[in-house]
C-alpha cells in the first residue's frame, strides 16, 4: 500500500497540497521582504528630495565687505540667518579696491560695504549702485600699531620712519590711502593730487629709505605686525579689537589729520538676482544699519556718530 505523500515517480494529492502551501509561504516571505526594502528606499529618496527642496528654497545674498569689517559682519551674518532661516548670507571680505574691481568685472554681488567713499563713488558713476539705498554707516580711526612687547622707538605717525620696517597697505586700499593722506598733512610726504597714487616705493624714499612691506588689505597689515615680520604698521582701531594680547596701539590718529573715515553701504545692481534675492538683500542692509546694530559696531571699535 502506497503512503499518502511523494515517491520517486510523483506525488499523492496530499503531498501536492503540502508543496503548494510551502511554495505559497515562500512567495509571501519574498513579497513582504521586497515591500519592506521598497519602503525604506522610498523614505530615503523622499528625505533626499526634501533636503534638495529646502536647499533650493534658500535665498543666497552675496555681500562684499571691506576686510576691516570682517569680525562685525560675521556676527551680523550669524544673527540674521538665525532670524531668517530661509536666507544664506555669503560674505566676501577683502580690500575695498579689490572688491570694487570684482564688482566691475561682473562678480555676483547684492550688497557692497566699503571702507571709503571713493570705491562706492566709482561704482555709482558706472550705474552699478542703487543710489537710493546708499547710506553712511560708521566712522573709523587710523592707528599705528606694534607688537605688545615691542621696544620700538616709534611714538606715532610723526616718526614712523625711524622704524626698521613698516607694514603698509598699498594706495588702492582705503587704509593705505588714509595713511598717505595723514603723512601729507604731517609734512612727511610731498603734496599730491591723489594720495592713493603715491607708490610704496615713493613713501619709503620720502621717509628716508625705511623698509616697507606692502600689503593687500588691512587684515594683512595686522598679521604682518602680529607675526613680527614688521616692527610697526598702520591699521584701523577696529581691527585691533580681540588682538590686544599680540599688538598694542602706539597712536590713534585724529580725524583732523586723516579726515573722516566713513564706511558707506549700498545695494548693488545685480541683473541676475531674482525678486527674492533682492528683497533679502534689502532686508539685510536694513538689519546692519538700524539703531540696534550700533551696539555691535561700537563693540568692535567703530564710531557710529555719522551724518
Q: What is the pLDDT of residues 165-199, one digit of tens each?
A: 999 999 999 999 999 999 999 999 999 999 999 99
| Cα separations in angstroms, 289 against 103, 228, 258 | 22, 36, 24
Cell digits of residue 72: 562685525
Q: What is the pLDDT of residues 105-160, one digit of tens each?
A: 999 999 999 999 999 999 999 999 999 999 999 999 999 999 999 999 999 999 99
Compute the distance between CA of residue 120 and CA of residue 112 in angstroms, rounded to an integer. Answer: 8
Backbone angles phi, psi at 219, to 5 degrees: -65, -35
Check residue 229 and report its DSSP letter: S
The stretches of 126-213 forming alpha helices (DSSP H) are: 174-185, 200-206
Q: How far apart are the first and last CA of the chain?
A: 115
Give the whole-number percent of the chain exceeding pLDDT 70.
82
Q: How many residues does the chain have?
A: 307
Compute the distance between CA of residue 114 and CA of residue 192 in angstroms, rounded to an integer. Answer: 23
* Burial classification of residue 108, based on how many CB atoms lie within 10 Å of its CB (0-12 exposed, 13-18 middle, 19 or more buried): middle
- Enter the pTM of the model: 0.77
| Helix orientation angle between 218-226 and 174-185, rounded to the nearest 10 degrees | 80
Q: What is the mean pLDDT of the chain?
A: 88
CA dihedral 141, 219, 225, 209 (to 10 degrees): -80
User: Among residues 215, 263, 271, 282, which one has the least CA distance to residue 103?
Assistant: 271
Strand ranges in the chain using DSSP code E only, listed in sequence order: 6-7, 10-11, 59-66, 87-94, 111-113, 135-140, 142-147, 165-169, 211-215, 232-236, 247-252, 261-267
* Residue 295: pLDDT over 80: yes
Amino acid at each position: 500500500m502506497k503512503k499518502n505523500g511523494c515517491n520517486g515517480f510523483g506525488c499523492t494529492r496530499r503531498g501536492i497540497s503540502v508543496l503548494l502551501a510551502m511554495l505559497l509561504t515562500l512567495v509571501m516571505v519574498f513579497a513582504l521582504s521586497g515591500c519592506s526594502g521598497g519602503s525604506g528606499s522610498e523614505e530615503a529618496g523622499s528625505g533626499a528630495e526634501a533636503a534638495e527642496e529646502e536647499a533650493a528654497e534658500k535665498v543666497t545674498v552675496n555681500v562684499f565687505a571691506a576686510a576691516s569689517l570682517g569680525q562685525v559682519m560675521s556676527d551680523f551674518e550669524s544673527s540674521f540667518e538665525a532670524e531668517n532661516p530661509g536666507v544664506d548670507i555669503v560674505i566676501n571680505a577683502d580690500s575695498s579696491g579689490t572688491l570694487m574691481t570684482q564688482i566691475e568685472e561682473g562678480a555676483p554681488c547684492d550688497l557692497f560695504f566699503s571702507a571709503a567713499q571713493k570705491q562706492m563713488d566709482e561704482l555709482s558713476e558706472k550705474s552699478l549702485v542703487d543710489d537710493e539705498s546708499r547710506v553712511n554707516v560708521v566712522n573709523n580711526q587710523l592707528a599705528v600699531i606694534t607688537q605688545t612687547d615691542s621696544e620700538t622707538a616709534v611714538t606715532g605717525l610723526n616718526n614712523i620712519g625711524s622704524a626698521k620696517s613698516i607694514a603698509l597697505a598699498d594706495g588702492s586700499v582705503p587704509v593705505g590711502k588714509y595713511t598717505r593722506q595723514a603723512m601729507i598733512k604731517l609734512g612727511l610726504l610731498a603734496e599730491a593730487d591723489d594720495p592713493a597714487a603715491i607708490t610704496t616705493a615713493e613713501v619709503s624714499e620720502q621717509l628716508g629709505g625705511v623698509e616697507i612691506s606692502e600689503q593687500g588689505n588691512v587684515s594683512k597689515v595686522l598679521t604682518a605686525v602680529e607675526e613680527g615680520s614688521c616692527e610697526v604698521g598702520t591699521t584701523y582701531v577696529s581691527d585691533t579689537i580681540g588682538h590686544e594680547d599680540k599688538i598694542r596701539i602706539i597712536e590713534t590718529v585724529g580725524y583732523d589729520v586723516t579726515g573722516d573715515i566713513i564706511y558707506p553701504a549700498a545695494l548693488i545692481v545685480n541683473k541676475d538676482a531674482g525678486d527674492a534675492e533682492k528683497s533679502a538683500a534689502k532686508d539685510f542692509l536694513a538689519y546692519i544699519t538700524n539703531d540696534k546694530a550700533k551696539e555691535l559696531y561700537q563693540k568692535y571699535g567703530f564710531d557710529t556718530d555719522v551724518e
